[in-house]
Chains A and B, each alone.
Chain A
Amino acid sequence: MAQIPPFEVSIRCSEFAVREGLRQIIGALGPLELDKEEAGTVELVLAEALNNIVEHAHSAQHPNGCIEILCWHKVDGLHLQISDRGKEMSSHTPALGKRAPLDVSLDALPEGGFGWFLIHDLAKDILYQRVNSENRLSMRLAVGLDFPCDC
């Protein structure tokens, strides 16, 4: 498998900028020749993490805020570090993202809250830190492994 050098992508804080950022990152990962499921995992986890920042960390007082995504690939998978200068995550830890009960009436079915659940389900080594006035969320995705393993 080809190696790729670490790279960084910066985006504005909007949902359409998230789309563009995902396109850039998936493009830059081309040499890893990820299969469709792996590429889908990267795109979904990043979409959830980035849209969460756009929605929650950046309210009106940070209109020009931006997000930086640092990516590097190692033998144990793809490492991501996502930084922004928006609001601090309220609990200092990523939401646990519990699965909502689905055996409920139609009206009570959840329309949200899936994002953190998907991140926790698909990513490993998830760490949130507040460093100075920056939010830093790092994680690892077990994709692009030379020898697929449960690591």
Chain B
Amino acid sequence: MQLSKQTEDALCIVSVQEERIDAAVALAFKDAMRAQTDGCKDIVVLDLSEVQFIDSSGLGAIVSAMKNLGVERKMALAGLNPTVERVFHLTRMDTVFSVFTTVDGALAELQH
């Protein structure tokens, strides 16, 4: 599971460098997220712009990664393609996360 991280002030941007977050890689995703977000401060922006498909296991892994941040830190999602966004919408998980169309949009909103 390839993730990359950039830090901008109190924001961490974690970009998923994979086309799928599905049952085959859900555990690897959780482990990789735990490692990448270890030193992150207030907000983690999860950049999903490379991701073409997620299933319910992938969704669960993203929820798990958010829970792992605890109540002190927040997670926002950015760059969801329509197929990925639909999974969040159908399960109403889009009401739990802050969802932004692009990473730049997330940064503009969250850095204030």
Contacts from A to B (Cβ < 8 Å): 14-16, 18-19, 36-37, 40, 43-44, 47-48, 51, 54-55, 99, 102, 106-107, 109-112, 114-115, 117-118, 121-122
Residues of B within 8 A of A107 (CB): 67
Q: Give per-residue flags for B21-39: 1 if the beta carbon is below 8 A from chain A beta carbons, else 0.
A: 0111000000000000000
Residues of B within 8 A of A15 (CB): 22-24
> Do A114 and B83 touch across chains, with their CB atoms under 8 A apart?
no
Residues of A within 8 A of B92 (CB): 99, 102
Residues of A within 8 A of B61 (CB): 111
Contacts from B to A (Cβ < 8 Å): 20, 22-24, 53, 55-57, 59-61, 63-64, 66-67, 70-71, 82-83, 86-87, 90-93, 95-96
| Candidates B22, B60, B86, B91; contact of A40 at CB < 8 Å | B86
Residues of A within 8 A of B90 (CB): 117-118, 121-122
Task: Classify the secondary structure of A's interface with B.
Answer: helix
Task: Classify the secondary structure of B's interface with A.
Answer: helix
**Given that A15-B22, A18-B23 are known contacts, is A44 also in contact with B87, CB under 8 Å in the complex?**
yes
**Given that A19-B22, A44-B55, A99-B91 are known contacts, is A110 also in contact with B86, CB under 8 Å in the complex?**
no
In the assembled complex, the Cα of A54 lies from the Cα of B71 at a distance in Å of 34
7 contacts between A and B (CB under 8 A): A15-B23, A44-B53, A44-B55, A48-B55, A51-B22, A51-B56, A118-B56
> Do B86 and A37 touch across chains, with their CB atoms under 8 A apart?
yes
**Given that A40-B83, A40-B86 are known contacts, is A19 also in contact with B24, CB under 8 Å in the complex?**
yes
> Do B55 and A37 touch across chains, with their CB atoms under 8 A apart?
no
What residue in chain A is nearest B81 (Cβ atoms)?
A36
- Closest Cβ of chain B: how far from A117's Cβ, in Å? 7
**Given that A15-B23, A16-B24, A44-B87 are known contacts, is A112 also in contact with B82, CB under 8 Å in the complex?**
no
Residues of B within 8 A of A110 (CB): 60, 63
In the assembled complex, the Cα of A14 lies from the Cα of B22 at a distance in Å of 12
Residues of B within 8 A of A55 (CB): 23
In the assembled complex, the Cα of A117 lies from the Cα of B17 at a distance in Å of 28
Residues of B within 8 A of A40 (CB): 53, 82-83, 86
What residue in chain A is nearest B91 (Cβ atoms)?
A114
- Closest Cβ of chain B: how far from A32's Cβ, in Å? 17
| Candidates B55, B60, B70; contact of A47 at CB < 8 Å | B55
